[in-house]
Amino acid sequence: MLAIEAQAITDLIAHIDARFEQAIRILLQCRGRVVVSGIGKSGHIARKIAATLASTGTPAFFVHPAEASHGDLGMVTRDDVFLALSNSGETGELLVLIPVLKRQGAKLVALTGNPASTLGREADVHLYAGARQEACPLNLAPTASTTAALALGDAIAVALMRARGFTQDEFARSHPGGALGRKLLTLVRDVMRSGNEAPRIAETSSLTDALLEMSRGRMGMTAVVDPSQVVKGIFTDGDLRRAISKGLDLRKTLIKDAMSANPRTIGPDRLAAEAVEIMERGKVTQLLVVDDQDRLLGALNIHDLFRNKVV
């Protein structure tokens, strides 16, 4: 079954031609919105295509063809493009809309499995979205054909994204509520600890001072800075274990002799998701946040990222 559906998608490649480019041009030039419609299984696919278009930079919505002929067609204007899905191309609920769409001046793009169908002939552009064989053992239930239509809808959305230069930030703005939005919108400055919440000590301090500051900050580390707040190093729980194993005197040893120099840092305007990548790559659980002159601005650890649902 999966092989049949996969073959239906593969077969579409031969049909990506000048008509596909023409459809993309029409959609790019649309001054209104893309109205996607279909009934039955094609209607479910149409809803998904409308949602994908809307979330990737092409204003779109779904309208049920039966409801359209009873008033909802008033949603469609001459500035819109009507994207109709029908495997047979003879769906009565869609065909009855064609004269009204033509009279309004809206463009019609049809996705069918039959170029010679009424819908295929009347469309401004027809795109083949059919299948040689359904995956259904009776070759009746829409399976491979709906998979093909869905894949073609995705291809249209991606082509429009590329043509518009749709960015990651624009994608994030249309997905503010979910995990994608958090990862794409949350900056380091949004989750870092700053001011007194970011533990720090002078490079002339002792290991004892470092332990006290680590306990106060409760981050399992402290930054080591010079009088101008430029980061010189970091002292972590791991550095403490190494100092103890070396038999260093906690009272007499200066922090600069036990710290880790050149610690991993990140800027405040970087994505919090980038902080996760740096931590994973470096196998660390803390990062110092610095400005462009390496002055300490804050700090964060993996728990801050978990708490803000970035991880």
Q: How confident is the model at residue 169 (pLDDT cuts 50, 70, 90)?
A: low
Does position 46 have pLDDT exceeding 90, yes or no?
yes
pLDDT at 182: 58
The percentage of residues in the chain with a pLDDT greater than 70, rounded to a whole number, is 94
**Residue 175 vs residue 123, higher pLDDT:** 123
Average pLDDT over residues 156-171: 81
* Residues 52, 7 within the same domain: yes
Query: Is 63 among the domain residues?
Result: yes
* Residues 97, 157 within the same domain: yes
Average pLDDT over residues 79-83: 97
3-state class percentages of the chain: helix first, strand second, coil last, to nearest 5: 45, 20, 35
pLDDT digits (tens, 9 = 90+) for 287-298: 999 999 999 999
* Residues 159, 246 within the same domain: no
- β-sheet bridge partners, residue 236: 221
* Residues 222, 149 within the same domain: no
Query: Is 253 among the domain residues?
Result: yes
* Residues 13, 137 within the same domain: yes
Query: Is 172 among the domain residues?
Result: no
Query: Is 68 among the domain residues?
Result: yes
Closest CA to 272 of 210, 208, 182: 182
pLDDT digits (tens, 9 = 90+) for 107-160: 999 999 999 999 999 999 999 999 989 988 877 788 999 999 999 999 999 999
pLDDT digits (tens, 9 = 90+) for 245-284: 999 888 889 999 999 999 999 999 998 889 989 999 999 9
Query: Is 174 among the domain residues?
Result: no
Query: Is 72 among the domain residues?
Result: yes
Does position 29 have pLDDT exceeding 90, yes or no?
yes
Does position 172 have pLDDT exceeding 60, yes or no?
no
C-alpha to C-alpha distance for 173 and 10, rounded to whole angstroms:
33
Give the number of domains in the chain: 2
* Residues 202, 137 within the same domain: no
pLDDT at 41: 95
Looking at residue 278, which CATH number applies to its domain? 3.10.580.10
Find the helix or strand (DSSP H, E) in which 91 lies: none
Strand order in the sheet with 200-202: 200-202, 221-225, 231-236, 260-261
Looking at residue 69, which CATH number applies to its domain? 3.40.50.10490
Does position 19 have pLDDT exceeding 80, yes or no?
yes
Query: Is 285 among the domain residues?
Result: yes
Q: Helix (H, G, I), strand (E, B), or coil: what is residue 252?
A: coil
C-alpha to C-alpha distance for 207 and 19, rounded to whole angstroms:
72
- Among 136, 166, 196, the domain boundary falls at 166
* Residues 157, 228 within the same domain: no
pLDDT at 251: 85
* Residues 96, 202 within the same domain: no
For residue 40, the enclosing domain spans 2-166
- Among 166, 197, 225, the domain boundary falls at 166
pLDDT at 201: 95
* Residues 121, 243 within the same domain: no
C-alpha to C-alpha distance for 225 and 234, rounded to whole angstroms:
9
C-alpha to C-alpha distance for 147 and 45, rounded to whole angstroms:
8
* Residues 9, 156 within the same domain: yes
* Residues 160, 198 within the same domain: no
Query: Is 179 among the domain residues?
Result: no
pLDDT at 72: 83
* Residues 138, 226 within the same domain: no
pTM for this model (two decimals): 0.64
pLDDT at 142: 85
